[in-house]
Amino acid sequence: MTTAVAGARHSVLDHRPIRTGFTGTTRLLRLYLRRDRIVAPLWILLLSLPLGGVYVASIESVYPTAADRASFAATILSSPAQLAMYGPIYNTSIGAVGIWKAGMFHTLIAVATILTIIRHTRAEEETGRSEILASTSVGRYANLTAALTLAVGGSLLTGLLGAVSLTAADVPASGSLAFGLALAGSGAVFAAVAAVTAQVCTGARLARGLAFAVLAATFTLRAVGDAGAGAGAVSPLTWLSPQGWSLQVRPYAGDRWWVLVLHLVLVVVLVTAAYALLRRRDVGAGLIAERSGAAQAGPDLAGPFGLAVHLQRGTLLAWTIGVGLYGLVIGSVVAGIGDSFAENETLRDMITRMGGSDSIEDSFISYAFTMLGIAGAAYAVSATLRLFSEENGHQAESVLSGAVGRLRWAATHLMFALGGPVVIMLTAGLLGGVAYGIAKGDIGGELPGVVAAALVQLPAIWFFAGATLALFGLVPRWTPVAWGLLTATIAVFLLGSFSGAPQWFRDLEPFSHAPKVPGSEFTATPVIAVTVIAAVLLAAGLAGVRGRDVR
């Protein structure tokens, strides 16, 4: 009898499915696709469909002849600010000029893939869900593999849809495919970067911040390299940046397919490193261990405000330095912008239309600080989302179990979400105003206008803080959709910069309602209106936080 039972047990064991490190990847991928069923299609479509129907079509209508496009390209190549933001134009074909502004898409897709990878890897470990799944028939590598499949697959789909969109605009198919693959390469590289930072860091916030720091560093290398290189030259700094590699594919200007090998090699190296780190570490651990705190909290942590300062100060400092430096760059280059655009009436019209003034310099300041305002909105969303991460990580429950009310807890983080952008934009305005004033020889005369251009962006920034808090208070599971709202705003802003975009379309994003200063008269009505909307959203969010259960 004993022998028969043992034999039966061995028979059952022999027919059990073998669990490998990748077991369960398909099921996790289906779960992640369901969780991202709104956010993923949003960034995929926004970064692909407008390419042919909007970008190329707009250039074709505004610059119909080769001479017009040659004048436009010469103007761009003489503007360090434009080169730093979007990169160079490599020839005067409709395709090459049409996708010039889409150079920013290589950074936007990187943001999307970084958020996707961290959300489904380190954030899952931080909340404890990965540990629960690991106790079932799910392999150790399944989580990372499913996340990479989603992010890289989304990047490839974005590139292919973008190529189809460009081909429909009657430009060469080879150049369209080259641009699509370069765009996919940018997304894949930073998905791999995020996969590594997810293994290195012990928290999702730190992993996300480290990945974004790498993105910012590579963008800066590319921007400085392109701005400093002469026409036709390529700076060595550009070759240190994956975004620079994507631009060096040069769609419609030679289609340098071999550059894509750089993306592929880096992705393979980083993904291999990510799996090696995952194999060596424990669940929930990382190479950068969290520092042990003191046995007793100091007086600066004696309350929720001190805790919020401790959690938010590093992020605020980093954003202030980064945006402030870009403000300094804007102030340094704007003095010569009029001469750069002197021979291109169409480009002058675009800048003055977006900037709201007949003065090209004043319009450029307004336009550039609107872009910095969007960066400030990203900080506001990030600072507000700290409430979401604190609740999901169960730290909020510990705080609220003491003599701390929910509104007081939320208000401490909102002080940074609302006050932090004031610090960021004021710093950028002061640095930019001083640089512009020095270039013009009149600091006292130019500084107030530049600072005003920075500060009028605050109501729109506060709108995003309010929208994020409203999501957190009323529909907490949808809180990360705030990033999708900001991404849609960026797309509307970029598309609205083209001639022919209807005013109602441009009015969809809150930054379009900011007064166009300097150069135009300040009007308080739109500032008050957007501020009131932001206040309503904040009030709705606080009411939701107070009335619902802690998740």
Q: What is the pLDDT of residues 14-45, one digit of tens each?
A: 444 555 678 888 998 999 999 888 888 888 98
258: DSSP letter: G
Calpha distance 277→270 (Å, rounded): 10
- Note the pLDDT of residue 343: 55
CA distance 243 to 228: 16
Domain identity same for 322 and 410? yes
The answer to whether residues 249 and 324 belong to one domain is: no
Tell me the pLDDT tens digit for each residue of 35-72. Answer: 888 888 888 988 888 777 677 877 777 778 888 888 87
Residues 124 and 89 in one domain: yes
Check whether residue 368 and residue 406 sit in a common domain: yes
Whether 264 shows a pLDDT value over 90: the answer reads: yes
Count the alpha carbons within 13 Å of 358 in the hemisphere toward its beta carbon.
0
pLDDT at 50: 78
CB contact set of 17 (below 8 Å; sequence gap of 6+): 23, 137
User: How far apart (Å, rounded) are the C-alpha atoms in residues 32 and 150?
Assistant: 8
Over 90: is that where the pLDDT of 11 sits?
A: no
Q: Retrieve residue 11's tokens.
A: 């028979």
Portion of the chain with pLDDT greater than 70, in percent:
85
Rounded Cα distance, 334 and 22, in Å: 54
* pLDDT, greater one: 51 or 166: 166
- CA–CA gap between residue 466 and residue 410 (Å, rounded): 12
Confirm whether 550 is domain-assigned. yes
- Residue 316 domain-assigned (yes or no): yes
Q: According to the model, what pLDDT value does residue 263 have? A: 96
Within a domain: residue 9?
A: no
Last residue of a domain, one of 237, 255, 289: 289
* Residue 66: per-residue pLDDT: 83
**301-318 b/e (C-beta count within 10 Å ≥ 16 → b):** eebbbebbbebbeebbee
Do residue 395 and residue 514 come from a single domain?
Answer: yes
- Average the pLDDT over 311-338 and give the result: 81
Domain that holds residue 540: 300-551
- pLDDT at 536 > cutoff 90: yes
Q: What is the pLDDT of residues 327-352, one digit of tens each?
A: 887 887 776 665 555 555 655 666 66
Last residue of a domain, one of 289, 321, 346: 289
Choose between 23 and 131: higher pLDDT. Answer: 23
pLDDT of residue 46: 83
User: Are residues 389 and 278 part of one domain?
Assistant: no
- 57 and 88 in a common domain: yes
pTM score: 0.74
Would residue 196 count as lying in a domain?
A: yes
Residue 471 lies in a domain: yes
The pLDDT, as a whole number, for residue 178 is: 94
Q: Residue 199's closest CA among 145, 142, 276?
A: 276
Question: 295 by DSSP, 3-state: which?
Answer: coil
Is a pLDDT exceeding 80 seen at residue 180?
A: yes
Q: Is residue 174 part of a domain?
A: yes
525 & 431 share domain? yes
443 lies in the same domain as 420: yes
Q: Are residues 278 and 386 in the same domain?
A: no
Question: Residue 145 domain-assigned?
Answer: yes
Count: domains in the chain: 2
> Within this chain, do residues 187 and 48 fall inside the same structural domain, yes or no?
yes
What pLDDT, on a 0 to 100 scale, did the predictor assign at position 35?
A: 87
User: Per the domain annotation, does 480 fall within a domain?
Assistant: yes
Q: 389 and 282 in one domain? A: no
